[in-house]
């Protein structure tokens, strides 16, 4: 177990690094404001399923986010009649709490992704999602699909004992997306942050 209490797992070796870097490659990564339909589609396009989506979202049990990624849910969420305000799916007391931490114009203050348990790997993020206390919209979106909501409920109920094992398996699957192997493409870098010079 690491310092957060999360699971340890073996990572397959032999993956090669590409020889080009392109900022546009990041366009396919999930965004904090993505709807459940967009999330499910992007995960499916990468060969991942709804279970992987729920499990990999649960990685947000550790860490923080900037107010920049929360501001639209607090101040400019589209409401009926062309108005804008706070996302009505967020409990009122939590809206007040978030607004106190992220006042208008403050984009850089950081707050926990997992309210009340940001330093420990546990199922608290799933409990927060189920109860409406997800901080970012993409986490909250898991409650907007019968399929993903059922998986959240399962990991807080009958499947709770398999949460860590399944999370580790999902991490390995994610790490295999677009893997370059063999000798013809890419390289195994001597220094992770730089292309090899020879």
Q: What is the pLDDT of residues 101-135, one digit of tens each?
A: 999 999 999 999 999 888 889 999 999 999 999 99
Residue 48 counted as domain residue: yes
Q: What is the pLDDT of residue 107?
A: 93
- Does the annotation flag 122 for ligand binding? yes
pLDDT greater than 90 at residue 54: yes
Tell me whether residue 181 is annotated as binding: no
Looking at per-residue pLDDT, the higher value among 176 and 68 belongs to 68
Is 123 annotated to bind a ligand? Reply is: no
Q: Any binding-site annotation on 109?
A: no
Q: Which residue has the tokens 């990999």?
A: 56
2 inside domain: no
* Domain-embedded: residue 185: no
pTM over 0.75: yes
57 carries a ligand binding annotation = no
pLDDT of residue 134: 96
* Residue 99 lies inside a defined structural domain of this protein: yes
Task: Work out the number of other CB atoms within 10 angstroms of the CB of residue 44.
Answer: 13
pLDDT at 23 over 90: no
Q: How much is the pLDDT for 2?
A: 63
Q: Where are the beta strands (DSSP E) in the chain?
A: 64-66, 77-79, 83-85, 110-112
| pLDDT above 50 (res 1) | no
Total domain count, the chain: 1
* pLDDT at residue 11 in the model: 79
Whether 37 is covered by a domain: the verdict is yes
Give domain status of residue 97, yes or no. yes
Domain around 101 = 29-175
Does 9 reside within a domain?
Answer: no
* Alpha-carbon Rg for the chain in angstroms: 19
For residue 193, is it within any domain? no
Which CATH number do you get for residue 148?
1.10.420.10
* Coil, strand or helix at 180: strand
SS (H, E, C) 145-167: CHHHHHHHHHHCCCCHHHHHHHH
């Amino acid at each position: 177990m690491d310092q957060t209490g999360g699971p340890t797992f073996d990572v397959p070796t032999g993956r090669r690094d590409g020889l080009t870097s392109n900022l546009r490659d990041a366009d396919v990564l999930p965004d904090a404001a993505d709807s459940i339909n967009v999330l499910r589609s992007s995960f499916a396009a990468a060969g991942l399923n709804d279970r992987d989506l729920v499990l990999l979202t649960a990685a947000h049990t550790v860490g923080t986010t900037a107010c920049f990624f929360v501001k639209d849910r607090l101040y400019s969420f589209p409401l009926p009649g062309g108005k804008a305000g706070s996302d009505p799916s967020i409990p009122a007391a939590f809206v007040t709490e978030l607004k106190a931490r992220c006042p208008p114009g403050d984009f850089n203050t950081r707050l926990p992704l997992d309210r009340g348990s940001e330093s420990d790997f546990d199922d608290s993020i799933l409990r927060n999602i189920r109860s409406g206390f997800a901080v970012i919209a993409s986490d909250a979106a898991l409650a907007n699909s019968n399929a993903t909501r059922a998986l959240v409920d399962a990991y807080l109920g009958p499947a709770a004992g398999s949460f860590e094992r399944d999370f580790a398996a999902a991490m390995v699957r994610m790490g295999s997306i677009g893997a370059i192997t063999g000798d013809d493409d890419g390289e195994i870098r001597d220094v992770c942050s730089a292309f090899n010079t020879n």
